[in-house]
Amino acid sequence: DIQMTQSPSSLSASVGDRVTITCRASQGISNFLAWYQQKPGKVPNVLIYDASTLQSGVPSRFSGSGSGTDFTLTISSLQPEDAATYYCQKYDSVPRTFGQGTKVEIK
């Protein structure tokens, strides 16, 4: 099975900072990669799909890039409401493995 590895596992940044989270697949998955945001006590929400397509209603400060095995989620200017845990997930085939998550805290 393909493994998904996210880094870092956590980060702390200030409002206005540019934040980058990476996700690496152990084998190529083309662009079948989604990013989810989960706030404490809430259900995960899709931010990005097809590696770089912004889900409707998601602020434009979020962007995704990559293809094959290496992917990136970028928050261009971190806002207080972005404090959450972010997960990548492959959906090229089953199992639809998630990354282990990246917790983003606001300094």
Partner 1 sequence: QVQLVESGGGVVQPGRSLRLSCAASGFTFGYYSVHWVRQAPGKGLEWVGVVSSNGNDKTYADSVKGRFTIARDNSKNTVDLQMNSLGPEDTAVYFCTRGSIVGTKRPLDYWGQGTLVTVSS
Residues making contact with partner 1 (CB under 8 A): 1, 32, 34, 36, 38, 43-46, 49, 55, 85, 87, 89, 91-92, 94-101
Phi, psi (rounded to 5 degrees) for 82: -90, -5
Q: Closest distance between partner 1 and the C-beta of residue 54, in Å? A: 12
Q: Closest distance between partner 1 and the C-beta of residue 46, in Å? A: 5
Q: Closest distance between partner 1 and the C-beta of residue 16, in Å? A: 28
Q: How many CA atoms lie within 13 A of 84 on its CB side?
A: 22
Q: Closest distance between partner 1 and the C-beta of residue 94, in Å? A: 4
CA distances from 19 to 29, 43, 46, 97 (A): 24, 22, 18, 23
Cα separation, 77 vs 72, in Å, equals 15
Q: Using the minimum distance from each CB to partner 1, give the nearer residue, 35 or 75.
A: 35
Q: Using the minimum distance from each CB to partner 1, give the nearer residue, 17 or 31.
A: 31
59 Cβ contact partners less than 8 Å away, ≥ 6 residues apart:
79
Q: Using the minimum distance from each CB to partner 1, give the nearer residue, 49 or 71.
A: 49
